[in-house]
Structure 1
Amino acid sequence: MKTFLKRIIKKCAFLCIGILFIRVLCGFRLYSRLKKRYGERSVFLMCPHTGTGDIYEIGIYLREYLNKRKIEESVFLFRGRAEQCVGALFHIDKGAIINDKETIFLSKLLIFVGTETLTIRHLHHIPLTPQTEIAALLEGYNHLSFDDMFRFYTFEFGNEIVNKEKPDFSRSAEAIIKYFTQHGLEKNKTVILSPYASSMPTLPKHMWNELVNRLLDSGYNVVTNCVGEQLPLRNTIAISPSLAEIGPIVELAGYFIGWRSGLCDLISDCKCKKIVLYPYQAPNALWIDWPGKTYEYFRLANCNEREVIEIEFNMEQIAKLPEIIYTEIENKNVCGKITLRDENRGDIFK
């Protein structure tokens, strides 16, 4: 039996080595094609994960990073169309979209060969194969935020002053107003709801429906921001502005209420009343979770500078959310944190 197991282990080891070699070889072929297409001097910037919030964080630091590293010619390798659209808001115009397999191949090549030989820069604290990295365990530790991990870990900035870029929503004012009037919206009297996130399940519909009814009864226009096959909330109309339009539209509307997502990052500096919701615990999310991490790690940085109300809650407090949110819409507060949870319980958000 022991001899048999040894044979199996040896065969598996050789199989794993063979698979790794094939992936590294495929990565090298792809890297060679990219070099041929974009030039030998090009440096390829890669975020292996999908997510508009990740590209937003990269965008605000990228110019400073390129200047610091004296990188003159760069090509960004995006994971999807949405990520590329966010990149365009930071004038990351030279780039290409790579699929899952291509991302795996380049990641394996980078791990195998290293950055001293390759002109590929991995712009994320978590690699595509997180089992080879422990950085994810630092998320939220000692109050380290999402923004902190990009600033200090990914881009290796210290405590020096860093000039952060902001997304450029430079769109024709006439086009934005036309979009607004076509959907029957009213300036400074429209609430844009964003109930969906790709990284964690949304809140129960009855909470959103109760909030919608309360806002409608008070004379607000209420719309749901929808992408793809997402459906609008009951008694609201769907709007699907492009990412280049969402900033000015939110400012014209006057109010935004969102489940924490990359969209919240994107509009975080827009001049309007913003309310962002955080579950106390989200075990079905796409990250290593623990009670309180969603807010602790993904809180919007510099709350006193960004006009945003952030609400953290657990399941037992969901029934209170519509009233709390409505009160915050009506009052004059523009920033702060509200906690709705029983300190003696760590209810799991499902």
Structure 2
Amino acid sequence: MSDQGSRAEVSITASEAEQIRQVLGDLDYDPAGSSAYIGELRRRVYSGFPERLVRLLEVIKSSNSAAYAYLVVDNLPIDSGVRGSPQFGETGRQFKDGVLSENLLAALGAAIGEPYSISHEGLELVNNLTPHKHTRNDYTGLGSEVELDFHIENAAQAFMPEGDTSPLALLLLGLRAAPEGEGRGPFTRVADARLALARLSDEDLEALYGRNFIIRVPYRWRGATPTPRDNTDLSPVLSGPLELPRVTVAFYPDMVLPVNQRARTALENFHREVRAVSEAIDIKPGRLVFVNNRFALHSRDSFVPSFDSNDRAYRWVQRIMVTTNLWNFRSFGKRQERVFDPFLLPRASEPVRSRNADARQPALSEQA
């Protein structure tokens, strides 16, 4: 393993890859993410995964100043027979032999925390990120011809009234790439915010720590229940100690609105330094990238995608999102057990009594 402080690179050996394949190969993938499935994944990780990979997963969960911003893991086993790529709403199982990649992402997510999905990001626990022709100008993982500038995933969700529903981490796994001569896919770029913040002035830091910014909700979240809103109240984009900060920012257009020139200058300086310290990563087949969404920002270059003879995109990356617990998602409805829909209200097991209804009931002393 190569460890460079804020990041690490791990190369899985052939024997370790076969070990992982054996551990997960006979398990049915549950796209709903049932409790039984998640529990079985955890059992298999801790009883059968290579020991050094298990140790690394435990390090990821640490809260000390040596915490990784991101990891790159190479040579992971993935399914054979990849023969296309899914569009939104289609399952990846149609386009390859097996569900090893889904099980692998879900297993790593379950070992780190609580894996989940948001229904407008993907209708299964594991999301499929492939470029679509009709969404090429969208600022999402399904777009292509616009740059997804550096951002914390769902940054505004950290300040919503129902609780923080931004991810703890993202896991991205490459499954398919364009053949030689068809043009490379885009780079994913990752930056440790701690390195960028160390290059800023005290004045910039003071502005970033202040409630000087309105953070807009990603457009696919706008109008979500139970508290429809398009942006946060005045909020900081930086909180916590500099060695382990919480960053809540998105640098693609009009996502963060500074309230004055001092805040605008600090935000521009932060953006410049994030770009300066970033690393470009090609998420090729068998390569996994772990992004610590608390203080690692990521971006994706704009690109012109290539398609096979069936009009299926060559680029296919799978993703799973991980949170510390699922409590804050209780205000959302569900499409499946771990696939939450913020546009649906949760099903109530019984009618909710209003304060007025309670007020009409006699007090215990009156009933006696």
Category of TM-score, reference length = shorter chain? under 0.3
Point out the structure with the larger strand share.
2
In our comparison, the structure showing a higher alpha carbon Rg is 1
Point out the structure with the larger helix share.
1
Q: TM-score, normalised by structure 1?
A: 0.25
